[in-house]
């Protein structure tokens, strides 16, 4: 069953001192223009307006997959969604999208924080695409609110099982900025093992961006150094699929 949704295309002109924002900005108005376009309420309003730009949503909007999405209004587009190999563990759907890098297509996979019932799909995706590095930028839990299902072993828990997939913790370190873990991921069906490095970046607040850009730069450098010459995509996720990938 497929549900297609077409949204009306709009065009919006927002000006400051009679200047079209898509055109040149005079030097005398640049500072005012900067503060105007950086206004949080304006950015939130513009993001909502993006929802009415013409977009076709098919599989992602299907009722068959609603329970696999963390939020009812955040979907991957069909043209770049990650399609899982169908096996006995589930369907081909995961709320995840391929993202092109600066020099390479499909260099990243942006996905939502796994739910209890989609953690197995997350690891299926990691295995299928031979992922070497995972970057997590959300807390597992804040107070009584679950931000992301804990889909990996840590501390005294040395392994977790997800259907035919076993994730074993082999290394664990932590500092003020990052938590780094190494996993050995095994699939009993194909007999292969994959070594995966997992980073948790502690300085990305929910609904916001890191306060210190140097922390983010350091984190990105760590991730890049782990990837090295690997041609497999880096998996990046926060709680929503959204903020960490803007």
Q: Is 184 a catalytic residue?
A: no
Low-confidence ranges of the chain (pLDDT < 70): 1-23, 51-63, 88-89, 207, 240-246
User: Which pLDDT belongs to residue 209?
Assistant: 78
User: Which pLDDT belongs to residue 34?
Assistant: 83
User: Which pLDDT belongs to residue 1?
Assistant: 34
Global pTM value: 0.75
| 231: its two tokens | 């041609």
User: Which pLDDT belongs to residue 2?
Assistant: 37
| Cα–Cα distance list, 188 to 89, 185, 192 (Å) | 12, 10, 8
User: Which pLDDT belongs to residue 86?
Assistant: 84
User: Which pLDDT belongs to residue 58?
Assistant: 65
**Among 76, 79, 47, CA closest to 62:** 76
Q: Strand 145-146 vs strand 159-162: parallel, antiparallel, or unpaired?
A: unpaired
User: Which pLDDT belongs to residue 237?
Assistant: 94
Identify the active-site residue in 148, 184, 209, 238. 238
Contact of 191 with 149, CB cutoff 8 Å = no
Q: Classify residue 49 as exposed, middle or buried by CB count within 10 Å of its CB (0-12, 13-18, 19+).
A: exposed
Q: Does domain 107-238 have CATH number 3.90.190.10?
A: yes
Cα separation of 215 and 26, whole Å?
A: 33
User: Which pLDDT belongs to residue 228?
Assistant: 78
User: Which pLDDT belongs to residue 10?
Assistant: 41
User: Which pLDDT belongs to residue 17?
Assistant: 41
């Amino acid at each position: 069953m497929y549900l297609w949704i077409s949204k009306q295309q709009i065009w919006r002109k927002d000006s400051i001192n009679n200047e079209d924002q898509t055109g040149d900005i005079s030097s005398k108005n640049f500072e005012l223009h900067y503060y105007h376009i950086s206004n949080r309420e304006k950015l939130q309003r513009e993001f909502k307006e993006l929802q009415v730009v013409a977009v076709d949503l098919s599989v992602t909007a299907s009722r068959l997959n609603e329970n696999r999405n963390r939020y009812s209004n955040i979907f991957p587009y069909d043209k770049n969604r990650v399609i899982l190999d169908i096996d006995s563990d589930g369907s081909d759907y995961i709320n995840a999208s391929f993202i092109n890098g600066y020099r390479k297509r499909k260099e990243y996979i942006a996905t939502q924080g796994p739910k209890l019932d989609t953690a197995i799909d997350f690891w299926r995706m990691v295995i299928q695409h031979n992922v070497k590095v995972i970057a997590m930028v959300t807390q597992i839990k804040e107070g009584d609110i679950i931000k992301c299902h804990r889909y990996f072993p840590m501390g005294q828990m040395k392994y977790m099982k997800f259907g035919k997939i076993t994730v074993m913790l082999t290394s664990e370190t932590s500092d003020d900025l990052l938590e780094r873990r190494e996993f050995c991921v095994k699939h009993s069906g194909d007999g292969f093992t994959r070594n995966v490095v997992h980073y948790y970046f502690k300085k990305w607040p929910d609904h916001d961006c890191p306060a210190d850009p140097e922390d983010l730069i350091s984190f990105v450098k760590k991730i890049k150094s782990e990837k090295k010459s690997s041609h497999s995509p880096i998996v990046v996720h926060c709680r929503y699929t959204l903020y960490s990938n803007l």
